[in-house]
Structure 1
């Protein structure tokens, strides 16, 4: 059944590629316009009244504080109507010399990742497309409450290393598989708040495996040791929801590169080969693991949970993927970008599910 569905998905992508080839000499068309927007078929049950995700204008909001762990392209504000606290992250920033930098595609990558996580039932920070005085970006509602203290992965790793009296490597090399597994098994007591346990996904460790599957699906290369966390409230500790997925879905590639990879007849340039090189920030010894390797290696500690996450991924239909991607407004994401994004998701889904049988036999 899955092989049949995969063939249908690949056929749909090929149709979209042919549409791109017809316009290969028209860069302005490739960047997308209304008449080239991919739209769902009329009458589909899942078609929503609003064709696009809204872009929330926060230009009239007052800034509370700039984010400590980032640059002035990130700031907190309290919504004047709802009184909810939000973090706004602009796609416009500056390098260390003060020169302007455009983090192309971070807004649509974050929004698509958010909607995919929701579909798969992965605890996550919620993101909205937003605009602040002409600056594109995203906003995310604060997920901690009074009494919560958040400790990031690097702090937890240092704590574990100090307990067993071993030196901590510089940078991301400290994020070793065995240390992360120890933190999940012994330090973080509970899954994210409001998590409803399933038959096989009950603990923080079980849920975290879903985060790693998600990284492999969206080609997220940025789950470094400050992009996952534990929330401590009193004597209880919880895994934080997954957050910060902007470095995913190939969003940093130029439209020209996306088009070239979509239309190339060279297997080395095509999407399956492109996604197979995606690296994580997890290490096994001195080796930096790829996103799929990190998922499989850590998933092997909890086979039943891993199998259930794979079953969830297996139910993700191409039409669902297509609807999620196509709802990004065309002024933010063109046809080539949408086709490229869908191709990444289809290729990653297929290669992840190839390993499903690994978790069928001996279960833990």
Structure 2
């Protein structure tokens, strides 16, 4: 089983201000490395309390990303006092500065409107074409296991392919970033992928998951996975995650396309089951759902891209 780390006595570095949920940077007392703790959301209504298990999505997502060769943050299950959640190891080397897509695109485009702006439901400006422009002259994440000739957008293409596999609809302009080195420290790079908390149906109650496992419920649910965080025409059907992955793969060299599709093809039911079987407290219903979602989307990506 994957271990749950008790971080209750780790030193608080600071609170993370990006994002809607409360998150805290903590220092590992053994080596001083910074980890971001994020608690699972707890919902309460007349029917009682239930936990939105983002930690399941983060851990399975992180392990699957690594299996596909996607540079990503290391994730561990964690407990902070009475709160369960997960911790994510800081991606940014010491002395470097992390800048989210909002900052990068704002510097590239005139009058860029962030995705969180109330009037920007169409996500104007947050397109693959603009992201490719913004990542020109950027390298892949430091230490990433990708071919030597890959540039930053080649790696970002892997991110959106991965999103399609794990049903991650949350790749907005604060959920990807670049890293700027200190003066004389080399060229800027793309940051590893992070924040997969909304993937794999983490917002669904178990009763809903049970109903989706009947008949064609899972394939129908997967086909509803729209890439609404990317620029789209509000008067037309929103592109799906597979549509965005296919579009990105057409924007890169054939060798890059083949690399990421081979990574998708390498995902097997046995690999996914070997991950879900190691998740503490994961029910058979949830593990079965995650396995079916990943394998359904694997087939959709390989057929549609």
Is 1:274–2:221 an aligned residue pair? yes
Q: Secondary structure of 1:225's match?
A: coil
Alignment of 1:25-174 (within 5 A): 52-70=1-19, 73-92=22-41, 104-162=52-110, 168=113, 170=117, 171=120, 172-174=123-125
Is 1:354–2:282 an aligned residue pair? no
Structure exhibiting the larger radius of gyration computed from Cα positions = 1
Q: Is the 8 A contact 2:249 2:257 kept in 1?
A: yes
| Cα distance change, pair 285–256 in 1 and its aligned pair in 2 (3 A) | closer
TM-score by length of structure 1 reads: 0.74
Alignment of 1:175-214 (within 5 A): 175-184=126-135, 186=136, 188-198=137-147, 202-214=150-162
Give, in angstroms, the shift of residue 261 of structure 1. 1.1
In 2, the alpha carbon distance for the partners of 1:216 and 1:300 equals 15
Give, in angstroms, the shift of residue 54 of structure 1. 0.3
Q: Paired residue for 1:307? A: 258
Q: Is the 8 A contact 2:69 2:146 kept in 1?
A: no
RMSD: 2.3
Structure 2: gaps (5+ residues):
none
Give, in angstroms, the shift of residue 272 of structure 1. 0.9
Q: Is the 8 A contact 1:74 1:90 kept in 2?
A: yes
In 2, the alpha carbon distance for the partners of 1:93 and 1:158 equals 34
Give, in angstroms, the shift of residue 103 of structure 1. 5.5
In 2, the alpha carbon distance for the partners of 1:252 and 1:167 equals 30
Q: Paired residue for 1:298? A: 248
Q: Paired residue for 1:328? A: 279
| Cα distance change, pair 153–310 in 1 and its aligned pair in 2 (3 A) | same
Structure 1: gaps (5+ residues):
1-51, 96-100, 357-364
**Structure with a larger share of its residues in helix:** 1
Q: Paired residue for 1:340? A: 289
Q: Paired residue for 1:261? A: 212
TM-score by length of structure 2 reads: 0.88
Deviation string 1:266-289 (CA, Å, 9 cap, x unpaired) is: x4xx11111011122112455643
In 1, the alpha carbon distance for the partners of 2:231 and 2:7 equals 40
Q: Paired residue for 1:34? A: none
Give, in angstroms, the shift of residue 102 of structure 1. 6.3
| Cα distance change, pair 212–139 in 1 and its aligned pair in 2 (3 A) | same
Give, in angstroms, the shift of residue 335 of structure 1. 0.9
| Cα distance change, pair 198–146 in 1 and its aligned pair in 2 (3 A) | closer
Deviation string 1:245-274 (CA, Å, 9 cap, x unpaired) is: 0101011111111111112x3x4xx11111
Deviation string 1:177-217 (CA, Å, 9 cap, x unpaired) is: 32112223x2x421111134427x61111111110110000
Q: Is the 8 A contact 1:103 1:252 kept in 2?
A: no
